[in-house]
């Protein structure tokens, strides 16, 4: 079982792989898109409906083909993103609307939330550089798929990597760890990020709970080490406060500790 801290570099590698796969393969989606267009025409749908700016309106007009339309819009979102990347464009104006329409048509199309958030959050020229919009997309995904813990994982990583909001990231990881089927390292991530954000008390509580509940000895050993490190950090901070107080009162440095 992986420890939580190993997920941070792993997440970066996952993003890098995503770029390679998408840039290499988005042109191959053209036949798929054409096939979907043919199916739409065969179903009696008009081309104009593809450009209606509201997924809800499209859903009502789809005559039961909303899943097909969602796949079409998702395909076009990926193609649009890949084309902008290949042309070294830094503007992705249509990305947000395409993702919104896709997920309004099919709120359970989880891949659109997960990959779409990466497209939106990553800084230019790799992505749109709009992490707040990525958060909004993921939160909509969580509302539609409340028990899918991977969306909480993605949300936490955007707070951590892209926004450097460590306390919020820790809360998100902790909330995600309580979803059905969530991996134990989600709680490890919460504890690790809480400590990095300076919330030592929160981190200690989480590591203590991990130590009590973990069945994996490697994770229990890591929890023991982290608890010892947190205690040492707290002792050092206490010592520094005492030294500062002595310096202020006596006007000199302490000769001994």
The tens digit of pLDDT for each residue in 4-15 reads 555 555 555 555
Global pTM reads 0.67
Q: How far apart are CA 236 and CA 216, in angstroms?
A: 31
Q: Which two tokens stand for residue 57?
A: 């309106």
Phi, psi of 230, rounded to the nearest 5 degrees = -65, -40
C-beta separation of 14 from 154 below 8 A:
no
The DSSP code for 45 is -
Is the pLDDT assigned to residue 142 strictly greater than 80? Answer: yes
pLDDT per residue as tens digits for the range 58-83 = 766 666 678 888 888 899 899 889 88
pLDDT at 44: 46
Residues whose CB is less than 8 angstroms from the CB of residue 48 and which lie 6 or more positions away in sequence, other chains included: none
C-beta separation of 112 from 103 below 8 A:
yes
What is the percent of the chain where pLDDT is above 70?
Answer: 72
At residue 190 the predicted structure's pLDDT band, cuts being 50, 70 and 90, is: confident
pLDDT per residue as tens digits for the range 221-238 = 877 887 888 788 777 877
Residues, the chain, total?
A: 257
Q: How far apart are CA 210 and CA 229, in angstroms?
A: 15
How far is CA 27 from each of CA 75, 105, 167, 222, rounded to the nearest angstrom? 10, 24, 40, 45
Residue 180: exposed, middle, or buried by beta-carbon count in 10 A (0-12, 13-18, 19+)?
Answer: exposed
């Amino acid at each position: 079982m992986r420890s939580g801290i190993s997920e941070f570099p792993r997440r970066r590698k996952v993003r890098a792989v995503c770029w390679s796969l998408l840039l290499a393969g988005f042109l191959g989606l053209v036949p798929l898109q054409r096939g979907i267009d043919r199916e739409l025409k065969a179903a009696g749908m008009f081309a104009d409906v593809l450009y209606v700016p509201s997924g809800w309106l499209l859903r009502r007009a789809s005559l039961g083909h909303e899943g097909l339309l969602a796949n079409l819009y998702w395909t076009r979102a990926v193609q649009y993103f890949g084309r902008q990347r290949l042309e070294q464009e830094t503007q992705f104006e249509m990305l947000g609307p395409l993702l919104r329409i896709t997920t309004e048509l099919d709120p359970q199309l989880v891949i659109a939330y997960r990959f779409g958030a990466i497209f939106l959050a990553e800084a230019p020229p790799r992505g749109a550089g709009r992490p707040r919009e990525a958060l909004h997309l993921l939160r909509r995904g969580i509302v539609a798929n409340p028990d899918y813990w991977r969306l909480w994982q993605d949300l936490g990583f955007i707070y951590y990597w892209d926004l450097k909001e460590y306390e919020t990231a820790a809360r998100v990881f902790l909330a995600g760890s309580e979803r059905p089927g969530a991996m134990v390292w989600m709680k490890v991530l919460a504890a690790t990020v809480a400590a990095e954000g300076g919330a030592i008390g929160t981190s200690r509580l989480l590591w203590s709970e991990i130590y009590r509940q973990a069945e994996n000895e490697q994770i229990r050993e890591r929890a023991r080490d982290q608890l010892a490190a947190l205690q040492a950090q707290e002792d050092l901070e206490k010592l520094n406060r005492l030294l500062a107080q002595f310096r202020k009162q006596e006007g000199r440095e302490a000769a001994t500790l």
